[in-house]
Chains A and B, each alone.
Chain A
Amino acid sequence: MSDSNDNYVLEISGVNKTFGGLKALSGINLKVREGSTHAIIGPNGAGKSTLLNTCIAKLVPDSGSIIFAGRDLTDGMTPHGINQLGVSRVFQTPEIFPELSLLHNVMIPAFAKRDGFFKFNLFEWLRDEKQLEGEAMHYLDNLGLSGSAEVHAGSLSRGDKRRLELAMCLIQHPKLLLLDEPTAGMSRHDTNRTIDLLKEIKEGGMTKIIIEHDMHVVFSLADRISVLAQGAIIAEDEPEAIKGHPRVREAYLGSAEI
């Protein structure tokens, strides 16, 4: 792996978060290099999703800072403001628009990218948005969903919903893509397709943080891995090194074969 690129897209420093008396995140420091894929692994309840939530202002940490594009995301930023800066997120349970068609599901984020957080385009015709529609179809096609572009998103299988959500994020060309178990509930075949797709995007220079339990996915994609246990980062290194790391084995991987 090249260390030549020292531009960090995201710098998390000293982030703490407690719920009640429970310490969910303690002193998290994490730097994510531009264009890299950074995986966060760890047992259930280690605080992985909580960490991602603090990055999109879903949660406000008790202390610490998260610097992205020169802005501190924990400092009064709104979720839509953070998205407009270039951060998109795939959620653990897919967040889509169940009543809308797949095509519209993907067009909505494209509009957000083009029009900003608010545009009073009441006297424009939706039917004139051919370019945007074409782009949306392209992304649906990439994820193998173009066949059901007119179907309501609510009727999709869980795996398809995930892929739809991924398309919704990708069409925004985010600078930073947060993926919370993007392949959970997918068949092996679909998982491999998603891996290929995510690899492809890598060439476009998109930075990704990925939370994943499936080690096959992690080791196919990640440039760097952080291991989270009980709210703290216990190890951070390149994939090969992580495999052999004794504390990681103990805390998370157990004796299981990777």
Chain B
Amino acid sequence: MEAINPSSGRKDNLTMIAFTVVVLTAPLWGKLIGADYPDLLQRFAIFGLFAIGFNLLFGLTGYLSFGHAAFLGIGSYTAAWSFKLLSMNPIPAVIFALLLSGLFAAVIGYVSLKRTGIYFAILTLAFAQMSYNLAYSVLTPITNGETGLRVLRDDPRIIDTALGVEIQGPLLGSFFGIEMTGYSGFYFCAVMLIAGFYVALRVFRSPFGMKLAAIKSNQTRMEYTGYNPKPYLLAIFIISGMYAGLAGALMVIVDPLAGAERMQWTVSGEVVLMTILGGVGTLVGPLLGAAIIKYFENIFSAINESVLLATFDFLPEGLQEFMVTIVHPFVGGGWHLTLGILFMSVIIFMPGGIMEGIRHLTDWIRRRKE
């Protein structure tokens, strides 16, 4: 399957319009699946961005980074400091998070891209773990260590002070007076997501993207065809890192707290899971994967024994208990077990992820029709 295709302008415009409509109406259709609360929708958008960005690197070039959590963390800390020093307005937070995560990605990418395959994965992992360990220890003045970086009432906030903006009530991100919480927080994330999706679409439909796919397919050939793959890889690594930085910043914008645990390698693992589950190298897949994981995490981890007992209430008593015992390990705290099994099944049986499944399904329906 080729990720890159020129597509037609009309089709791309339709995709963008459909995407925008779906994202902006999320509170409406969210109701149908019981996801109509802003907190969860925010997470859809934030992790969606994270996964879209990760996929630009992994999906297009095949370089598996196990250290993207570092950029997520850097974005978070930058946004928190922007809140502390400059303004509670999310715009500077986003800009600085993009710049700084891009800068870090440039440095880490430059070094890591000297190697390929498993060695590249380990290098990125090593850098992320170093960032994580440093954030917890020696960088405490910047990161506030285990407690996490908070926004305080007596922070300077130069811009806000100069403009005479005063924060009444709780300290929340404020987009020119609109508090970045609840649905307004979601809509801010949604706009970022739409922008991020648009950029990803352009990458997928550009000569640049096609060259990346060619690098993935046969790097040696690229070199003997007159390309230097390094700047291509570095450019997409930086872009990918900036997506992670943006996602990290949005986390702080909707909830002004940044902690080092966001840099842990399990977070890098999570974005890999999302991307694979949705479909590596597809445009929508990673977003779908992120939404599905966050959705089921939300539902499954909320289920406890009493909920289960109520669910299987219609069964006779012995059977009810039996079902509860069977299902119980997979829900609540056991959600990760379900996730792990799901993830393994996808890799074993459907390496193309959900998007591959959907394609098989549409092919099958088309064949049935004929």
Which positions in A face B, CB cutoff 8 Å? 56, 58, 78-80, 83-84, 88-89, 91, 95-101, 104, 107-109, 111-113, 115-127, 129, 152, 168, 172
Contact = CB atoms under 8 A, between A and B. Distances in A.
Contacts of B217: 97-100
Given A101-B2, A111-B211, 13 more contacts: A80-B224, A83-B226, A84-B226, A88-B224, A97-B213, A99-B216, A100-B217, A104-B213, A111-B210, A112-B227, A122-B206, A123-B202, A126-B205
A126 B226 contact: no
A194 B202 CA distance: 39
Contact of A126 (B4, B220, B232): B4
B182 interface: no
Closest CB pairs A-B (n = 8): A112-B226, A83-B226, A97-B217, A127-B6, A126-B6, A122-B208, A79-B223, A95-B221
Most chain A beta-carbon neighbours within 10 Å: one of B7, B203, B223: B223
B224 A83 contact: yes
Nearest to A129: B207
Most chain B beta-carbon neighbours within 10 Å: one of A84, A108, A124: A108
Nearest to A98: B217
A176 to B, nearest CB: 13
B168 interface: no
Contacts of A119: 207-208
Contacts of A122: 202-203, 206, 208-209, 235
A80 B228 contact: yes
Contacts of A116: 226
A121 B223 contact: no
Given A120-B235, A152-B2, A108 B209 contact: no
Given A83-B224, A108-B225, A172-B226, A125 B214 contact: no
Contacts of B4: 100, 104, 126
Contact of B214 (A79, A89, A108, A121): A108
A104 B6 CA distance: 10
Contacts of B235: 120, 122
26 contacts: A58-B224, A78-B228, A80-B224, A83-B223, A83-B224, A96-B218, A98-B218, A99-B213, A100-B213, A108-B210, A108-B211, A108-B214, A108-B222, A118-B231, A119-B208, A120-B208, A123-B206, A124-B208, A125-B9, A126-B5, A126-B205, A127-B205, A129-B6, A152-B2, A172-B225, A172-B226
Given A83-B226, A121-B208, A95 B2 contact: no
A88 B225 CA distance: 7
Nearest to B9: A127
Contacts of A120: 208, 231, 235
B306 interface: no
Contacts of A78: 223, 228
Contact of A118 (B8, B225, B227): B227
A54 to B, nearest CB: 14
Given A83-B224, A89-B224, A108-B214, A126 B209 contact: yes
Nearest to A126: B6
B219 to A, nearest CB: 10
A118 B234 CA distance: 12
A95 B206 contact: no
A96 B206 contact: no
Most chain B beta-carbon neighbours within 10 Å: one of A56, A100, A115, A124: A100
B231 A83 contact: no
A19 to B, nearest CB: 20
B224 A125 contact: no
Contacts of A123: 202, 206
A123 B5 CA distance: 15
B10 to A, nearest CB: 10
Nearest to B1: A99
A127 B13 CA distance: 13
A56 B225 CA distance: 11
B92 to A, nearest CB: 25
A126 B218 contact: no
Contact of B223 (A80, A125, A172): A80
A60 B228 CA distance: 19
Interface in B93-121: none
A113 B226 contact: yes
Interface in B8-33: 8-9
A117 B222 CA distance: 10
Given A83-B226, A118-B228, A118-B231, A126 B207 contact: yes
B238 to A, nearest CB: 11
Nearest to A152: B2
